[in-house]
Amino acid sequence: MKTFTYSFKVNAPLQKVAEFHRDTRALKLLSPPPMFVQLHQVEPLSEGSKAEFTMWFGPIPLHWLAVHSGVDAMHGFTDTQMRGPMQTWRHTHRFDSLDERSTQVNEQVEYEYKSGLAGLFTRILFNPLGLRVLFTYRAWVTRNQTEK
């Protein structure tokens, strides 16, 4: 299994960063163009809550069903793909207070591609460089939404 990690600092208190990530609309905001996310069913973040959505890359849809676990309202959660384009996708978000005005966000994704043609598109999109671009964008949005 492959692992991707990404960390960044946000000049906002822990509570504000955690609240942003608990917002059911955050996934749409955190998806960079040309990616578009269509939410089908997103339950409020809690242990066992589900998020069903489609990520569109132009005309190509990737359907996902993710389940949340390890939910700690202030310190993060894990979303695990139950159905979707990857063989395995487990994304852990952790938030740590650096002081009363800044937060460290630590992201870890454990993933495996499907074999053959089924995994070809995801091997292109979610390769290490693609993940770095995605998470750099997410860091920018997180800062933009919480440092106000």
DSSP three-state, residue 100: coil
What element of type H or E holds 77? strand 76-83
DSSP for 8-50, written as a single string: EEESS-HHHHHHHHHSTTHHHHTSPTTEEEEEEEEPPSSTT-E
Dihedral over Cα of 125, 90, 61, 8: its sign: negative
Tens-digit pLDDT profile for residues 112-131:
999 998 899 899 999 999 99
CATH number, residue 121: 3.30.530.20
Domain count across the chain: 1
Among the residues of 23-127, which ranges form H helices? 26-29, 116-125
Range of the domain at 82: 2-146
State if pTM tops 0.85.
Answer: yes
37-86 pLDDT, tens per residue? 999 999 999 999 999 999 998 898 999 999 999 999 999 999 999 999 99
Q: How far apart are CA 110 and CA 115, in angstroms?
A: 16
